Structure 1
Amino acid sequence: MFATAAAVVTGVASPTVHAEASRIQFLTPSGNIGCQLDRTPEGSSFAWCKANEHSWVAPQSSVCPRGNLPGAIGEPGGEDVQLAEGQAPCFGFVMSQLFFSGQYAPPIVAYGERRSMGAITCSVEPAGVTCTDGTTGKFFRLSRDSYLLG
């Protein structure tokens, strides 16, 4: 009887499944650039980054369309660089915070390391952060001194 009960209990237990994180946030070692990689409810990936201090001015004409990212606002004046899977990179405003301190601060990603979510990969280098859509090759590069949308 004991062996039968053990077999039933063993058969009911399922192995632990480790799913990919639904959101990745990080800061560069300088603490000046923060990024978030995430997925839309439909499953496509996206990234957005923000430079806390920068010497460049975001273009007023390159505004992300409303709905480009969840939580994004398609209005002029945004300084958050965004890249959604299958779309061109753009500037907009994301209603989210990255620059926390203490226990809520995102982890630091060392120079030379990458973080990926689906098709989007962000690489951290001393010159800044580059996020690329592996399906289209579209990208953005962001630093304190400059930005590039490609």
Structure 2
Amino acid sequence: MAGVTAGAGGGTAHAMPAELLQFRSPSGNIVCQFTTAIGGGDSVVCDIANYTYTPPPRPDWCTGGSWGSHIALNEGSAPAFGCGSVSVAADGLPTLYFNHSTTVGNLTCLSMPEGITCTDATTGHKFRIARESYELG
């Protein structure tokens, strides 16, 4: 079941749909989507168009596609960079405004000025992605 909640912090109130399976950051630089992971369970993937951070080295298995702009979190697993991109254009997607979150199953993504943070409630694994930096945990 998906839901969207407003977080603390004030600001302009925005009407949010009951669920956001795909969304963009307020700047439109980050696009995320919830999917079903291979083998079952929920997954969230985020792709960033422009970034200044240095991604980890490209692994040998990533022979094609982009590297460094795509992070995935599969329910029950640690987050990781992926090879390729989400391939979802930001135009027309609903915006996940700052201080708002959206949840699908045990995965929640929160939009803050510091970036998008997605967390797995079952394991505590998470990632944060922003133009200047990323965090995997």
TM-score normalized by the length of structure 2:
0.75
* 8 Å CA contact retained: 1:85, 1:119: yes
> Could you say which residue in structure 2 is the equivalent of 1:139?
126
Aligned residues: 118
Q: From the CA coordinates, give the structure whose radius of gyration is larger.
A: 1
Counterpart AA for 1:60 = P
Look up the equivalent residue of 1:113 and give its one-letter code. Answer: H
Q: Which runs of 5+ in 1 are unaligned?
A: 1-18, 64-73
User: Does residue 1:81 correspond to 2:71, yes or no?
Assistant: yes
Which has a greater percent of strand? 2
The runs of 4+ residues in structure 1 deviating greater than 6 Å are none
Q: Percent identity?
A: 35
Q: CA RMSD in A?
A: 2.5
Supply the AA of the counterpart residue of 1:140. F
Contact 2:127 2:136 in 1 (8 A): yes
Q: For 1:141 and 1:123, how far apart are their aligned partners in 2? A: 9
Deviation at 1:23, TM superposition (A): 7.5
Q: Is the 8 A contact 2:71 2:80 kept in 1?
A: yes
Question: Which string of whole-angstrom CA distances, capped at 9 and with x for unpartnered residues, describes residues 95-116 of structure 1?
Answer: 5412243xxx211111111111
CA contact under 8 A between 2:45 and 2:86: conserved in structure 1? Answer: no
- Aligned-partner Cα distance in 2 for 1:96–1:122: 16
Which structure has more relative contact order (CA 8 Å, sep 6+)? It is: 2
